[in-house]
Structure 1
Amino acid sequence: MDYQTFQPHPDLSALVKFYWTLEVPFDPKNQKQKIIPDGCIEMTFNLEDKIKRYVSESEFVVHPNAMVMGQRTKSYYIEPLGNVNSFAICFYPHGFANFVCTPLENLVDVETPIESLFGEIPSKELKQKISQATSTQERIEIIEIFLLNKLNQNTTIENLVKTTVDTLISTNGSTPINQILKNDLSKRRQLERKFRKQIGISPKQLGKVLRLQTALKMLLNGNENLTSIAYESEYFDQAHFIKDFKEFIGNTPKEFLGNENMALSTLFYK
């Protein structure tokens, strides 16, 4: 597996977290891979063979060649049908809402073809340019022109939502929402409504995903002391950490390490 990340232009760096590429030659022995929620929304272009996502043990759907994966509330398995050659844009939780008018709660846990969000003709032109580009840098330049044009056509995200997201990111999801809002219940209701529209999930759900990501990185970087991880990630205790881990990933932390189905997630999140 060859996975690389690239930084966005400064004009987009507040909204786009990074670009990434992934190349995996086909091998019949390759295991299906579990993908873990990370709190981000991604636009992905498959440049070679198709990829399928399992919806049950044996049933699956095939990814569109150009799609947006909204916020994820649970882990899921994918498996390539051939060679993998992907180019993707990873948006901050509040980033993608600046480019579309569609409520992002409609995109949760599904793969949405870009035609549904940007229209048939612009999407066809974009897909053609991305597929014909001869380098990652050229693809980055193409997508940045596209995004900057879209940014100028849409209103920006609500300040209340952005402030909450920024606080959750800066504290790795550990700050209680009521504390961010200074216990203003009227703002809580307003935030919940706007958050689902502009982020896709609730503030509490995003906080749980971000905190889990912090713990997961510690685990992948060699800290196997679950009590220590729970404490440093500001979980109430080890049991609380393991409960959240199993809820989002479907395995215990110890089952996660060294699992062949987790090889791709390990690459992404380490």
Structure 2
Amino acid sequence: MKVVEIEPKNEVLKNYVSKYQYFDVDGPLLVKAIPTGTLECFVIIGGSFEIFDPEKATFFASEHIGVFPMGSQVSAYFIPKNVKCFNIKLKAQSLSLPKFKGVISDWKSFSVESFLGAAGMEKIRTFDYSDEENFADTIDEILLENNDFNAVDTRLEAVLNSMVAESTSNMKVDQIAENNHMTIKSLERLTKKVFGMPPKKLMGILRFGESAKYLKNTEGYKFIDALQFGYYDQSHFIRECKKITKMSPKEFLSKLNLDTNDLVLDGGLDEN
């Protein structure tokens, strides 16, 4: 199993992209994705994987390209054999880009090629991912060539920046609305339209994502360390972890066997 995870180098892209990822994974394997406030944009380079549909209680084959929306529920994926996959982990602020307008409500129709370009898709499929030195430069160039980052919805971006910045504090939703010259109702309508969830839930997921990343990358961590991300006390963090992941913090962190903070290797679907 090989996982390469690299941050963008370009300063503009850092506002919208969290990580570039390359996976070379052998199955059979069940992987669960924990909601951490990111939008995933993927290109399958070889092999395939399946996505669990909780309503039908069955798996269905993924497309070769697509996005996974910024949801609030654990998602499950089954890798039957070998799969090679490239993924861009996008920040919440990416939803202020014109090409991502309405993507949460209509994510199955999103045009990955419009975001990466036909030539960019070909580069991604043929890139030597062992060349980690040039990984970020190559993908940075693809995104900059195919997107106008000066055409963002500046009003929406300002609100998203505010919510992300305050997600790890104890600031209330009404304060965030006031700081952005909005009513609470207007802020709620905005986040439900853009993210499909109310602001309080969105901020809880963003906060958990930051705390999970810190704990995953900190040797000798303690759960009380999560208080720096806005939790009132240790029991508050434990409750939120169970609510979001359906696991205790100890179980969740023990299953983060990949070099990521949101993918869990698991053997069953009963927790969904």
TM-score by length of 1: 0.76
Question: RMSD of the TM alignment (CA)?
Answer: 3.4
SS in 2 for 1:94: helix
How many Å apart are 1:252 and its aligned residue?
1.0
Unaligned runs of 5+ in 2: 263-272
In the alignment, the residues of structure 1 paired with residue 148 and residue 180 of structure 2 have an alpha-carbon distance, to the nearest angstrom, of 32
For residues 66-100 of structure 1, the C-alpha deviation after alignment (integer angstroms, 9 at most, x for no partner) is 11111021112222122222212222201143141
For residues 233-264 of structure 1, the C-alpha deviation after alignment (integer angstroms, 9 at most, x for no partner) is 322333332221112101111222433xx423
Following superposition of structure 1 onto structure 2, how do residues 143-162 of structure 1 map, counting pairs within 5 Å?
Answer: 144-145=141-142, 148-151=145-148, 155-159=151-155, 161-162=156-157
- Equivalent residues of 2:30, 2:77 under 8 A apart: yes
In the alignment, the residues of structure 2 paired with residue 129 and residue 20 of structure 1 have an alpha-carbon distance, to the nearest angstrom, of 15
SS in 1 for 2:81: coil
Judged with a 3 Å threshold, the aligned counterparts in structure 2 of structure 1 residues 143 and 115 are, in CA distance, closer, same or farther, namely farther
How many Å apart are 1:149 and its aligned residue?
3.4
For residues 1-33 of structure 1, the C-alpha deviation after alignment (integer angstroms, 9 at most, x for no partner) is 322214143343322233221222x244xx412
In the alignment, the residues of structure 1 paired with residue 10 and residue 210 of structure 2 have an alpha-carbon distance, to the nearest angstrom, of 26
Unaligned runs of 5+ in 1: none
Deviates most, 232-241 or 72-81:
232-241
In the alignment, the residues of structure 2 paired with residue 249 and residue 3 of structure 1 have an alpha-carbon distance, to the nearest angstrom, of 22
What residue in structure 2 maps to residue 3 of structure 1?
3
1:204 equivalenced with 2:203 (yes/no): no
In the alignment, the residues of structure 2 paired with residue 139 and residue 7 of structure 1 have an alpha-carbon distance, to the nearest angstrom, of 5
Q: State the one-letter code of the partner of 1:192.
A: E
In the alignment, the residues of structure 2 paired with residue 22 and residue 181 of structure 1 have an alpha-carbon distance, to the nearest angstrom, of 39
Judged with a 3 Å threshold, the aligned counterparts in structure 2 of structure 1 residues 189 and 92 are, in CA distance, closer, same or farther, namely same
What residue in structure 2 maps to residue 65 of structure 1?
64
Given candidates 238, 246, 263, the residue that maps to 2:257 is 263
Following superposition of structure 1 onto structure 2, how do residues 61-210 of structure 1 map, counting pairs within 5 Å?
Answer: 61-100=60-99, 102-107=101-106, 112=108, 114-115=110-111, 118=114, 127-134=121-128, 137=134, 141=138, 144-145=141-142, 148-151=145-148, 155-159=151-155, 161-174=156-169, 175-182=171-178, 186-210=182-206
For residues 107-130 of structure 1, the C-alpha deviation after alignment (integer angstroms, 9 at most, x for no partner) is 5xx6x35448849xx976654453
